[in-house]
Chains A and B, each alone.
Chain A
Amino acid sequence: MKSLILHTISITLLPLLILFSVFVLLRGHYLPGGGFIGGLIAAIAFILHAFANGLKETRKVLRIHPGFLIPVGLSIAVLSALAPILMTGDPLMTGLWYDKDIAILGKIGSALFFDTGVYLVVVGVCLTIIFTISESV
């Protein structure tokens, strides 16, 4: 399924879509979006790239095995859940917040890190599943 148009578009579309997915992730706390949706968009971006350029190309672009993202994401989520115990002695999953606003991101807190963990896990899971299946077909 190699069409020239798709091929050309996908090269520019991949970074754009990934940027968009990160944007969706970051704004999730204030507007529709979040880790799940962002992760899914990123996964679709890679899959689109794979359709246009073949799986091998995508793997090259990705550099690491997508399955690697799962433990990384899980660790970030678990750490952000444990952070209040370690840092302030509050119970598990208490929200921690940095007081000042930061440009673009708004307020930063443990919830954002948790959502980032979710994002990475979702990307990892979707890509692992789709890549594995399409390779073994």
Chain B
Amino acid sequence: MTVFLIVILSSFVFSLLLFGIGQKTFQRMTWFAALLPISLFIYFSSFAKSIMNGEVYNSFTSWVPSLGINLDFRLDNLALLFTLLITGVGSIVFLYTTQYLKGHPKLLRFYVFLSIFMGAMLGLVTSNNIITLFIFWELTSISSFFLISFNNTEAPSRKSAIIALTITGLGGLALLAFAVLAGQITGTLSIAEMLQSPEVFANHQYSVILMVFIFLAAFTKSAQFPFHFWLPGAMKAPTPVSTYLHSATMVKAGIYLLLRFTPHFQNNSYFFTTLLIVGAITMLYAAFQTLFKTDLKGILAYSTIGALGIMVFLIGIGTSASITAAIVFIVVHALYKASLFLVTGTIDHQAKTRDITKLSGLRKVLMPLAIAGLIAALSSGGFPPTVGFIGKDLIYEATLHGGLNPVLLTTMAVLTNILMVFAGLLVGVKPFAGKQNEDLGEIKKPHFFLWFMPMILAVLSLLFGLFPSMVEALFTHNITPLLTGEESPHLAIWHGFNLILLLSAITIISGIIIYFIWKPSHKKEGSMMKFEAISPKSLALKFSDLFQKLSYILTRTFQNGYLRRYVMVILVLLTLVFGIHVFINPRIFLSVKEIKALNWNEIVILAMMLVSILFTVFTKSRLTAIAGMGVLGYTMCLIFVFYGAPDLAMTQFSIDTLTVILFVLVLYRLPKYLKLSNRTNRVRDAIVAMSFGTFLAFTIIEIMNETPLKKTSEYYAENAYVLAKGKNVVNVILVDFRGFDTMIEIVVLAISAIGVFALLKLHLKKNEK
């Protein structure tokens, strides 16, 4: 069954199809692009019922079976949760963008990248083979790069895109390392089969390394401290991209990876402790940062980082209650955050600003949007009866009953959530409340899609809150046992009066109080900027600057633009290698017998060679040098004749003749021999050349004492006639056994002839003009 492969490939094919449509036609039928996510959403929804009953769908196609790399897709409940998120939020974003970027000259490109991203993301969450998971992981990073730098004429966009790509690319490398190492140790690349060797992940000698790699991958992708800084930068992308990639789906790939490997690391307490600590730092740090931001998207970026921190934190607690809380929170967060992002997008689109200090009283013009914003803000703050309330209940439930120090964990969760209430209200309510700011000028009513799309998501938040059994049946009922082996707690909106309800009430009330007391301003943002110098971002940038400077110095030293420096560096290094080798174990065999065995013709050849070389090197006349070169070639030819290589002798003879003709033809157009370098340089070069030659000769003598491997030659010798019906083995190798090499060789020859022709003839034509 290859059905999932086709489904996932369909996104990529679709993006090609969009190219085929062309920019102009596409502008008139932008709705067409939305067909892809909508149909995929319907397709994946059709699996919901049977997967709820515990079924798992597999789709297997061999790719590189010898390496264990296969297109192995597996749709279980966890994958279904993500596919529904990807295609569901995708549908809304695709539709929203038709209006948000209406008439944009590069709209087609936008949809092409968005489709590629969606395919990659679907592949990521359904891959059962860790190598294909890695490939899709990298594809999401790359498509994210292109989407962040969508406004590629602006320098900040490009810079943010590069930072994001560097950080997530670093994580991708770590994921590859994890994949290869885990594959080597467990002997399989299938994620499901890896479960059969739990000891590898628990207490194998490499389990720490495995853990470091998977953390590096997940933390970079899911923007955990200290790798979080690429995410606020990524807000340079158009708002639909921020909605889709940088809040609802792509940044959750890291969370997905951690969830997927939770069963593998089940017995490894370090795994969970690290997650707990990193998640806690991230959520507190990011939630605190939201206090000082004035850009709506900046606030949302940090609250997204905070939410991702909460998810990692919850996975780190590692109980069935906390995993359930994490899963519910993924849904909760996707709904309200996407909604808030889209609301922000519409505000930006209509009012042309995202500055929170300037926005107020927009409810008169943007009424339906204000309602969507309000519901999303409520869900974000965990007000009943939204699904956010259930999510927050579960978080407190998890912190109170899990981990070593429930009081500390709960305090941290409450603190974070208070600030999340504040952030939600700030984005979802503040722009609409109060008196309208006159400076904004006249604000037009938005297009239907621009308020309806966030509204759908907001209403879903409300709906899931009123009927939590839907979330339970669809997701937590199956996923929690899948990941922890334990039953998931029952989801309900009302648990009676208890400690959790009290904590919820405290959270909400404190959040509201902060909202009314704390007014974000540019001054406060500025005061935070003072600490920017020690932030992970500037440290990372300084580090990369240092690298640039270092490489500049290295390049200047070794590649200074003078040819002899380049040659010299290579030669001196090689001479050192040869020299050290000869010096450490000298095995030189020179015997007088050898010299006595020489007959006269060999002596003549050697003498001729030596004389011709000396002439060529030391002559002052070009003609003598060429003659010397020619004689050298003919002596080579004689060597070939004596030692059983008639083919070589004939070729060498003809080529040598041609070369001499060539040189003589060009000679008088060439500059006269000049002595350009001084004596010191000549001596230096001579020393380098001679020491290289000496050590090379030593090495050759040493190699010749080894018994040469004749396997290849013997194969050709035995099969030349049997297989290729030829008796001249050299020719058979050239035209038959290695015929393809010869083919490439004649292509190279043809290219050199064309090059010569072009260099000389094209010039003549230019002169004629």
Contacts and interface: CB of A to CB of B under 8 A. Distances in A.
B743 A130 contact: no
Given A40-B655, A122-B746, A109 B740 contact: no
Contacts of B761: 132, 136
Contact of B753 (A47, A129, A136): A129
Interface stretch (B181-189, B377-385, B729-737): B729-737
A130 B739 contact: no
Interface stretch (A2-10, A56-64, A67-75): A67-75
A52 interface: no
A112 to B, nearest CB: 8
Interface string B721-750: 001111110111011100110110011011
B736 A125 contact: no
A13 interface: no
Contact of A118 (B647, B658, B742): B742
B662 A130 contact: yes
A97 B723 CA distance: 11
B750 A125 contact: yes
A83 to B, nearest CB: 12
Interface string A28-41: 11111111110011
B750 A95 contact: no
Interface string A16-32: 00000000100011111
A105 interface: no
Given A40-B654, A70-B750, A115-B735, A33 B760 contact: no
Nearest to A73: B746
A37 B735 contact: no
A135 B647 CA distance: 32
B654 A114 contact: no
A128 B761 CA distance: 11
A130 B661 contact: yes
A106 B360 CA distance: 96
Given A121-B749, A126-B658, A129-B756, A33 B728 contact: yes
B64 interface: no
Interface in A99-137: 107, 109, 111, 114-115, 117-118, 121-122, 124-126, 128-130, 132-137
Query: Which secondary structure dominates chain B's binding surface?
Result: helix
A92 B723 CA distance: 15
A44 interface: yes
A41 B654 contact: yes
Nearest to A71: B750
Interface string A71-93: 10110011001000000000011
Interface residues of A, number: 49
- The listed residue with most A CB atoms (<10 A of its CB), out of B655, B662, B728, B753, is B753
Contacts of B731: 28-29, 33-34, 115
A136 B647 contact: no
A77 B735 CA distance: 10
Contacts of A128: 753, 756-757
B597 interface: no
Contact of B654 (A29, A44, A93): A44
Contacts of A77: 743, 746
A95 B736 contact: yes
Given A32-B650, A34-B735, A122 B661 contact: no
B666 interface: yes
Contacts of A35: 734-735
B746 A117 contact: yes
Contacts of A115: 731, 735
A37 B753 contact: no
B654 A30 contact: no
Contacts of B723: 95
A95 B650 CA distance: 26
Contact of A44 (B657, B740, B750, B756): B657
B725 A67 contact: no
Contacts of A40: 651, 654-655, 658
A136 B655 CA distance: 22
Contact of A109 (B646, B725, B753): B725
A74 B658 contact: no
Nearest to A27: B728
Contacts of A41: 654
Interface centre among B657, B750, B754 (most CB of A within 10 A): B750
Nearest to A30: B727
A26 B731 CA distance: 11
Contacts of B757: 67, 128-129, 132
B557 interface: no
B727 A29 contact: yes
B760 A133 contact: yes
Contacts of A29: 725-728, 731-732, 735
A32 B728 contact: yes
Contact of B650 (A37, A47, A74): A37
Contacts of A34: 647, 728, 730-731, 734-735
Given A128-B757, A136-B761, A31 B728 contact: yes
A58 B650 CA distance: 24
B666 to A, nearest CB: 6
Interface in B637-672: 646-647, 650-651, 654-655, 657-658, 661-662, 665-666, 668-669
B1 interface: no
A36 B657 CA distance: 14
Contacts of A31: 727-728
Given A111-B736, A115-B735, A133 B662 contact: yes
Contacts of B753: 67, 70, 124-125, 128-129
Nearest to A129: B756
Given A33-B647, A37-B654, A40-B654, A95 B661 contact: no
A43 B728 contact: no
Interface of B: 646-647, 650-651, 654-655, 657-658, 661-662, 665-666, 668-669, 723-728, 730-732, 734-736, 739-740, 742-743, 746-747, 749-750, 752-754, 756-757, 760-761, 764
18 contacts: A29-B728, A34-B728, A41-B654, A43-B654, A43-B658, A67-B753, A77-B743, A81-B743, A95-B725, A111-B724, A111-B726, A111-B736, A114-B739, A117-B746, A122-B749, A130-B658, A133-B665, A133-B756
Given A40-B651, A124-B753, 17 more contacts: A29-B731, A30-B728, A34-B728, A34-B731, A36-B651, A40-B655, A41-B654, A43-B654, A44-B658, A47-B658, A92-B740, A95-B736, A107-B725, A111-B735, A128-B757, A136-B761, A137-B668
The 6 A-B pairs with the shortest beta carbon distances in the complex, nearest first, are A40-B654, A32-B646, A29-B726, A125-B753, A121-B746, A34-B731
